[in-house]
Structure 1
């Protein structure tokens, strides 16, 4: 069957992209033992605030052109036309990134006072700003490899980037003893080297002669409505740090950020799925009965995603013991909400497929705007009550709201027969197993860990029933119109 063939293809690409995502995102996890032993909670709070500021600037600099370029790339099989798409997107993003970096350089003392109460950390803000334009080359490079369906090349790029980043940060922080500035010096050195190599290798795609103003205008008309959406995603994922530092302190931000970093364990798999699914979904767009494939992907995502989220939550206390130090152990209370926020972020990505196919970006923008508004309101309401746990709950509820809205809003653009019982059934299984462990199973004793492992193993047969997924769905079968030799 078509759906089975495409799901197996998606699984194969996701496995390789998964390795790429693991290698790249694992940097944040691998550096946790170093950070928690070298820096205080307040130091990590400052680092988190700088990171989310840089992420905000980099998000704005994209201008929605990442989504637009992926959509326009597949509109033509002509190599020169595709190169015009990539070059136009790259030079616009680079110009925007340089402009935003200049703004941060100018306002560095003011931002330092906002984050820390003094201008002493202005140099950190300036170092962080330098990384913004440097990320443009690697972002476009990685995107092009995905468009070309070259997962192994993506894996090599991610591996080199990750190993270089970890090694250089360890060198500057541990051996050179540069403390927080060493983190940014390591990043700058790594990104500079990769940018030089990337420009040389991609120059046939990036040369200015390929820049097409008309193509850029068309892509911006599609992408700019997504720019506020990208900003809204940043609000849902990161703005709570600023509210936490305003209503609590930098140490609370550091604790929360540590839980957020450890919750990205599930994001590794979800990011791999997203990177593999986008080009595959567009490339099979004109095949017969493709809607059945799209619907079946949500079934598979529900089962696998909920199983992964349940595993991270059940073994969260062990994860904190292994990766952090004792002052950070209480932050494990944030983990369940943050982990399932990642799950709903992946579901939101699936929900927007119909709108992307129809080249209708406004439902995506409105959905994220709703989520951002819910997030900000709930952060101000819940953080005074529960601190970092309130921020985690606000993040989860905002992703739930935006996902529900987008599924509802996208139905009229490209109808896809999703089975909601599969998604809801898997979520119910996860909630039941996690609640059972929380109420009756010790978190760290050998017996408790064994019981938690048994609960996790029980998820597969329990989830198998509500989702209705059978191995026959993934096994190719011939139809009456199939040729025996096809």
Structure 2
């Protein structure tokens, strides 16, 4: 239980920085959805979906590689950090060079021939985020959660401050005859704000980078590093494609005249599921080093099982809460995007299952069988692409939401079946399924029912069932936290 409390404490610190920062950025959603037209929201989503994909590619699995080998006996942590960082930096440099050489063809394929600055800012943001990955990982590895949080929050608040400058301050002063420098293109303003914040973030992380110049200590063998890390990247690539490539399929499978608008609607509604993803992100920051540090513990499987169950309990409760308060939550996006709200229950459940997948996948990381991650992610990506290609032309954004949910279900099943064979973890499957099914059913009912009393009944029944399913675990956790 002490280990669980430690994980809870770390999750709280990482979560606080993540939730405060991301929620502050989320508060810009009403502003962005009010200022941007539906097609402009689509462009914004398009660029960031490519950033998400290539962030996974260019990190090359080095974050997980660093976590795994920096804690191994006989290896020097600083040397491992140096090796993984320089390898990643070389990949970033090569990628940027190739893209700039081929930019005319790339811009034509992306349909942005008249806006090369979109591509340049994409490269700036992408490079900065990738190069910051390992310094942040090192802070997590050394339990320097406060420093991690301060730098992350600084990055986010600079981004937010520049957004407020571009979209509120400059128009306000312009009406009074004072003209400050600002792009006339609102999409470009968002990219510039993010790019400036990313550069500042790298400057703040420079002290963490000191070991990259210490060459006197020998690190891990390059071949061993690649054998471990590249499968992690390949496993993560189908996963991120699973998460964001539906935007690209909406762009290219729907009619040209409406595709960017529909992508913008999908992206705006997807932002309402950010609360679930916030918890998953905060949990991941704390859980990954926690899982590895406890990998040699004889009771690790039981510990991992308890962590999974507590995660599902909390995320299921979050799904029901968000669904119950959707009449309020929906005002975070402009009303011109509300015609897409009907896909939200699917997105909520899909986000919850994404956290389940992260918990399940720890088996192949601690056993160094990372190549199985490729099988798991490819299974999900295959279903995602197949369902998207089939349903998007017919159902539009509903097809994309269904594809996301079905692909996550497939990955959960595949990962669980493989873990039973290679690293059995005693999950209480019936309890976990009860929590997930209850949250799913409650979310759909709360979306369909308009009467306040009916919503209240569904809400209360869901939480009663949660408590009945996890009564012992909840009581144990409360006692433990109260002692702490």
SS of the residue corresponding to residue 422 of structure 2 reads: coil
Cα deviation code 1:164-196 (max 9, x no counterpart): 111123324552441222212112211112212
Inter-CA distance 386–266: structure 2 relative to 1 (3 Å threshold)? same
Ranges in structure 1 where 5+ consecutive residues have no aligned partner: 443-447, 478-486
Cα deviation code 1:4-60 (max 9, x no counterpart): 222222222111111122134335522212211211010110111111112222211
- 2:129 paired with 1:122: no
| Counterpart pick for 1:299 among 294, 297, 309 | 309
Match runs of 1:37-436 below 5 Å: 37-76=34-73, 81-116=76-111, 118-174=112-168, 175=170, 176-178=181-183, 179-199=186-206, 201-207=207-213, 209=215, 214-248=220-254, 249-321=259-331, 323-436=332-445
Inter-CA distance 85–456: structure 2 relative to 1 (3 Å threshold)? farther
Which of 249-258 and 14-23 deviates more? 14-23
Which residue does the alignment assign to 2:17? 20
Q: Distance in 2 between matches of 1:67 and 1:343?
A: 22
Inter-CA distance 210–315: structure 2 relative to 1 (3 Å threshold)? farther
Inter-CA distance 181–140: structure 2 relative to 1 (3 Å threshold)? same
Aligned-residue offset at 1:475: 6.9
Contact 2:345/2:447 (<8 A) preserved: no
Q: Distance in 1 between matches of 2:21 and 2:83?
A: 26
Which of 326-335 and 278-287 deviates more? 278-287
Inter-CA distance 315–215: structure 2 relative to 1 (3 Å threshold)? farther
Inter-CA distance 253–149: structure 2 relative to 1 (3 Å threshold)? same
| Counterpart pick for 2:32 among 35, 53, 58 | 35
Contact 1:305/1:343 (<8 A) preserved: yes
Contact 1:263/1:335 (<8 A) preserved: yes
Q: Distance in 2 between matches of 1:141 and 1:23?
A: 21
Q: Distance in 1 between matches of 2:54 and 2:287?
A: 26
Inter-CA distance 31–99: structure 2 relative to 1 (3 Å threshold)? farther
Contact 2:138/2:208 (<8 A) preserved: no
Root-mean-square deviation (CA), in Å? 2.2
SS of the residue corresponding to residue 73 of structure 2 reads: coil
Ranges in structure 2 where 5+ consecutive residues have no aligned partner: 171-180
Aligned-residue offset at 1:430: 1.4
Q: Distance in 1 between matches of 2:234 and 2:319?
A: 28
Inter-CA distance 9–203: structure 2 relative to 1 (3 Å threshold)? closer
SS of the residue corresponding to residue 205 of structure 2 reads: helix
Q: Distance in 1 between matches of 2:294 and 2:430?
A: 26
SS of the residue corresponding to residue 114 of structure 2 reads: helix
Cα deviation code 1:65-84 (max 9, x no counterpart): 11111111211387xx1011
Return structure 1 stretches of 4+ with deviation > 4 angstroms. 210-214
- 2:5 paired with 1:8: yes
Q: Distance in 2 between matches of 1:177 and 1:455?
A: 49
Q: Distance in 2 between matches of 1:171 and 1:96?
A: 34
Equivalent residues, number: 463
Q: Distance in 1 between matches of 2:105 and 2:346?
A: 33
Aligned-residue offset at 1:451: 5.4
Q: Distance in 2 between matches of 1:266 and 1:126?
A: 32
